[in-house]
């Protein structure tokens, strides 16, 4: 059923439809509306779940580890500083192969303190062993939760997943969303069947320590699971498309890319602005296209290389910066295009909530066409 709904409430509604049994969460701007909505659903008996109102993000995810290990479908949500406080817990959840799903309302990292959007938070956790999916709009972020649970809990995968959407830009805006019914979601997402669980009737030890004789093999297994998540994602997204008619089967998605000379690459809500800018530039005769990255982990290198092979210049819009290097997405794209000879130019944009408009996208395309890149775009002039 179509309804006009705030992004955070759409996520909360989607999470409810996934029937999490334990929610363990801590409030932080701009994620708060999600956990508030879920708390209300539990208080009104609309959602039959345990809601652990923890004292920190560190405990939020630690609680999910316990609940998931004991055999429950679990959920949390956070952003920025909260995610950073979970740093060690994130690695642990992945290493223990617990299919927790967590929404990230992407926000900048302090200092200086900023509650506004960029993607530095989740991207900084790229090596933690979590699947990372990025949504462009509110319909997509809602739908990605159903898919993320399917992929995470797939016994080929058994890894936790971030579903990322841009703080404020998507969390606090309203869009029309087609929300499935409980019956439809139940048909798509079966009840959680843990691969193993803590159970006094069948005792196992979980989270043992590994000497140098064994440690590497555990890491290898996590990476293999990441690789298998590529197929598992496509399977889950295809089943979703078959049932609901909305197609997210691509780990990447091209927009007017086929004959593009300049290909932009981006993740998240900025893709909407870029698409509008492209339409205007196309009307002016510029051959410009967009490659949207939906899955950042695992990174779809082959799909990226195939999609960009016809471009003469690639311009990556990074809402993050690996300080002392470049934006993280550009590095991934460069790796994917290694040996192709296609130049990849990086533009650090929209950090800490700085607005980026269609005319900025057009300017970046101009810069890219002149070969000028690997820069922060849109800085105040006094620092230059």
Task: Point out which residues bind another protein (CB under 8 A).
Answer: 21-22, 24, 49-50, 52-56, 58-59, 62-72, 74, 88-89, 92, 96, 198-200, 202-211, 214
Shortest distance in whole angstroms from residue 222 CB to another protein:
15
Shortest distance in whole angstroms from residue 21 CB to another protein:
5
Shortest distance in whole angstroms from residue 63 CB to another protein:
4
| Whole-number CA gyration radius for the chain | 20
Q: With respect to another protein, which residue has the nearer C-beta, 91 or 376? A: 91
Q: With respect to another protein, which residue has the nearer C-beta, 191 or 384? A: 191
Q: With respect to another protein, which residue has the nearer C-beta, 22 or 177? A: 22
Q: With respect to another protein, which residue has the nearer C-beta, 59 or 295? A: 59
Q: With respect to another protein, which residue has the nearer C-beta, 68 or 295? A: 68
Give the CA distances from residue 99 to residues 69, 179, 197, 363, in Å, rounded to whole numbers and listed in that order: 9, 24, 12, 42
Q: With respect to another protein, which residue has the nearer C-beta, 29 or 72? A: 72
Q: From CA 37, how far away is CA 10, in angstroms rounded?
A: 10
Q: With respect to another protein, which residue has the nearer C-beta, 14 or 98? A: 98
Q: With respect to another protein, which residue has the nearer C-beta, 49 or 179? A: 49
Shortest distance in whole angstroms from residue 298 CB to another protein:
24
Q: Which helix (H) or strand (E) holds 292?
A: strand 288-293
Residue with tokens 């130019």: 345
Residue among 105, 145, 141, 131 nearest 18 (CA): 145
Cis before 308 (ω within 30): no
Q: From CA 179, how far away is CA 4, in angstroms rounded?
A: 10
Q: With respect to another protein, which residue has the nearer C-beta, 87 or 376? A: 87
Pair of tokens at residue 134:
């990025």
Cis before 112 (ω within 30): yes
Tell me whether strands 131-134 and 295-297 are parallel, antiparallel or unpaired: antiparallel
Shortest distance in whole angstroms from residue 121 CB to another protein:
20
Residues 6 or more apart in contact with residue 221 via CB below 8 angstroms: none
- Sign of the C-alpha dihedral computed for residues 270, 273, 275 and 278 taken in this order: negative
Residue among 87, 100, 127, 86 nearest 18 (CA): 100
Shortest distance in whole angstroms from residue 189 CB to another protein:
17
Give the CA distances from residue 143 to residues 7, 165, 179, 262, in Å, rounded to whole numbers and listed in that order: 12, 12, 8, 30
Q: Which helix (H) or strand (E) holds 182?
A: helix 182-188
Shortest distance in whole angstroms from residue 84 CB to another protein:
15
Shortest distance in whole angstroms from residue 205 CB to another protein:
4
The distance in angstroms from the start CA to the end CA of the chain is 51
- Sign of the C-alpha dihedral computed for residues 54, 12, 113 and 323 taken in this order: positive
Q: With respect to another protein, which residue has the nearer C-beta, 2 or 45? A: 45
Dmax (CA) for the chain in angstroms is: 70
Shortest distance in whole angstroms from residue 211 CB to another protein:
6
Shortest distance in whole angstroms from residue 25 CB to another protein:
12
């Amino acid at each position: 059923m179509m309804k006009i709904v705030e992004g955070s409430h759409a996520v909360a509604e989607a999470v409810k439809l996934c029937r999490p049994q334990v929610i363990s969460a801590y409030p932080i701007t701009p994620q708060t509306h999600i956990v508030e909505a879920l708390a209300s659903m539990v208080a009104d008996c609309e959602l039959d779940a345990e809601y652990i109102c923890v004292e920190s993000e560190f405990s939020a995810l630690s609680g999910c580890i316990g609940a998931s290990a004991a055999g429950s479908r679990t959920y949390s949500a956070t952003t920025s500083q909260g995610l950073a406080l979970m740093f060690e817990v994130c690695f642990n959840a992945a290493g223990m192969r617990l299919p927790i799903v967590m929404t990230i309302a992407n926000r900048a990292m302090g200092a200086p303190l900023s509650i506004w959007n960029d993607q530095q938070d989740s991207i900084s956790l790229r090596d933690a062993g979590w699947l990372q999916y990025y949504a462009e709009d509110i319909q997509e972020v809602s739908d990605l939760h159903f898919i993320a649970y399917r992929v995470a809990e797939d016994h080929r995968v058994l890894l936790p997943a971030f579903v990322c959407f841009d703080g404020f830009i998507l969390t606090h805006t309203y869009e029309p969303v087609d929300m499935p019914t409980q019956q439809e979601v139940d048909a798509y997402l079966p009840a959680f069947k843990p691969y193993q669980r803590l159970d006094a009737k069948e005792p196992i030890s979980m989270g043992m320590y590994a000497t140098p004789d064994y440690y590497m093999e555990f890491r290898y297994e996590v990476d293999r699971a990441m690789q298998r998540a590529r197929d598992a994602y496509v399977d889950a997204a295809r089943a979703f498309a078959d049932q609901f008619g909305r197609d997210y089967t691509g780990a990447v998605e091209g927009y007017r890319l086929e004959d593009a000379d300049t290909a932009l690459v981006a993740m998240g809500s900025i893709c909407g602005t870029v698409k509008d800018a492209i339409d205007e530039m196309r009307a002016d005769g510029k051959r410009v296209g967009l490659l949207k990255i939906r899955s950042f982990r695992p990174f779809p290198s082959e799909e990226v290389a195939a999609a960009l092979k016809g471009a003469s210049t690639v311009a990556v819009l990074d809402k993050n910066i690996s300080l002392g290097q470049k934006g993280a997405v550009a590095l991934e794209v460069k790796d994917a295009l290694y040996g192709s000879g296609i130049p990849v130019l990086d533009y650090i944009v929209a950090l800490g909530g700085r607005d980026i408009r269609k005319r900025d996208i057009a300017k970046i395309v101009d810069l890219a066409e002149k070969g000028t890149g690997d820069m922060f775009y849109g800085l105040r002039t006094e620092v230059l």
